[in-house]
Amino acid sequence: MQHLKDLIQRYLKGRATPEEISALEDWYHSFDDSEVPLSLEPGEDPAQLKQRLLSRLLPVMQPEAPIKAMPRYRRYAVAATVALLIAAAGTTALWYRYKTIPKNEIAVHIPVREIAPAQKKALLTLADGSTITLDDAANGALSQQGGARVVKSSPGQLAYQANNSAGEVVYNTLSVPRGGQYQVTLPDGTKVWLNSASSLRYPTAFKGTDRKVLLTGQAYFEIAPNAALPFHVQTNDLDVQVLGTRFDVMAYADEPTVNATLLDGKIKVHDKILQPGQQAVWSPTAGQLRISTADVNKIMAWKNGLFVFNNMDLPTILREVARWYDVEIVYNTVPGKELYGGGISRNLNLSAVLRVLEENGNNHFKINGKQVMVLP
């Protein structure tokens, strides 16, 4: 059991190797298929049975010492109490909670129509204003834009192949809707991963004295080195000058701050130079920039196929859920003040994610078309 505990803890922290993740999945399937007689209770479906059995198996995941209560929330004691391993559609999710709060048992709301997670879809706007719906386009060459050929290399991936011609520099925009995600390789070889509800405007060739792109939403960048042409990521509020290679920028209009997080190399935000593991947090309302140590695993979770929460309240979580599943959050009650921690696979249907939140908090949810109702 100690080996299992250590393995799950490494997975939660994003440190598990591919071999360890495979071993964890093998353990899960062997446990589910052979070691426990499957006996459904009245009204219980197989997914609920799997969840019930695993929640009983994993009390070994309790920490040796409880986390101290957070004074800001008077009656919400903060103590990591259980790890829950669930699986759906061949994917794995890990979850733990910070609190134990008694609550009335009510039925989980199961929607008539499941809402799937984000798909590989995006809209490409060309220099002449025409558009290409990339999720419908076949793999292969799509267009010639200035000095680059535009190619859909595989589902979810777009690439610009520079042909070294003296063609005119024009601009394209890659727009990823809510409920989508996409990757683009720019003509200099820079790779960009775009999260849901994001867009990137960029030239089809980088010429002159620098390389500039305009971002809304969130993206992760791996910059192709070129000391002669510095790279800039511009948002409505920040200009991130790249002095290194790997970083994440989040600039959603519905979030209170704009964040730039450095993984490797150096970036400059305003007059501050960040080191790896640091985050620049800009508050537009206060007009202030602060530098802090970043939770890199949480920041990069979206690119790695996870929701990761670390002392996050429900409204913050649901904003992220809304973008990923393209739904509207409607509050029919004041959300609870409990804080959540843990991870959930982004490959799960919406109802499975809401079920985990429901079982670890004081609020309940109902899906009504493209709306998620937050209930007492």
| pLDDT score at 13 | 54
Range of the domain at 64: 2-115+304-375
Instruction: Tell me how many domains the chain contains.
Output: 1
Render pLDDT for 223-233 as a digit per residue (tens, 0 to 9).
Answer: 999 988 999 99
Residue 329 burial (C-beta neighbours within 10 Å; 0-12, 13-18, 19+): middle
The highest-confidence range among 87-101, 107-121, 185-199, by mean pLDDT, is: 185-199
Q: CA 59, CA 56: separation in Å to the nearest integer?
A: 7
| pLDDT score at 215 | 98
Tokens of 1: 């059991």
Share of the chain above pLDDT 90, in %: 52
| pLDDT score at 14 | 58
Who wins on pLDDT, 11 or 127? 127
Per-residue pLDDT, averaged over 189-195, amounts to 97
Residue 137 lies in a domain: no
Q: Is the pLDDT of residue 216 over 50?
A: yes
Residue 141 lies in a domain: no
Residue 72 lies in a domain: yes
Q: What is the pTM of this model?
A: 0.72
Report which of 167, 161, 99 is spatially closest to residue 127, judged by C-alpha positions. Answer: 167
Give the CATH number, domain containing residue 49.
Answer: 3.55.50.30
**Average pLDDT in the chain:** 78
The H-or-E segment that residue 281 falls in is strand 278-283
Q: Is the pLDDT of residue 344 over 50?
A: yes
Residue 209 lies in a domain: no
Tokens of 280: 């620049």
Render pLDDT for 28-55 as a digit per residue (tens, 0 to 9).
Answer: 555 443 344 444 556 655 555 555 544 4
Using DSSP bridges, classify how beta strands 231-234 and 246-251 pair: parallel, antiparallel or unpaired: unpaired
Render pLDDT for 289-330 as a digit per residue (tens, 0 to 9).
Answer: 999 999 998 999 999 999 988 889 999 999 999 999 999 999
Residue 279 lies in a domain: no
Render pLDDT for 53-85 as a digit per residue (tens, 0 to 9).
Answer: 444 444 333 333 322 223 222 222 222 222 333
Q: Is the pLDDT of residue 271 over 80?
A: yes
Residue 127 lies in a domain: no
End-to-end CA, the chain: 37
| pLDDT score at 164 | 67
Q: Is the pLDDT of residue 186 over 90?
A: yes
Residue 36 burial (C-beta neighbours within 10 Å; 0-12, 13-18, 19+): middle
Q: How confident is the model at residue 208 (pLDDT cuts 50, 70, 90)?
A: confident
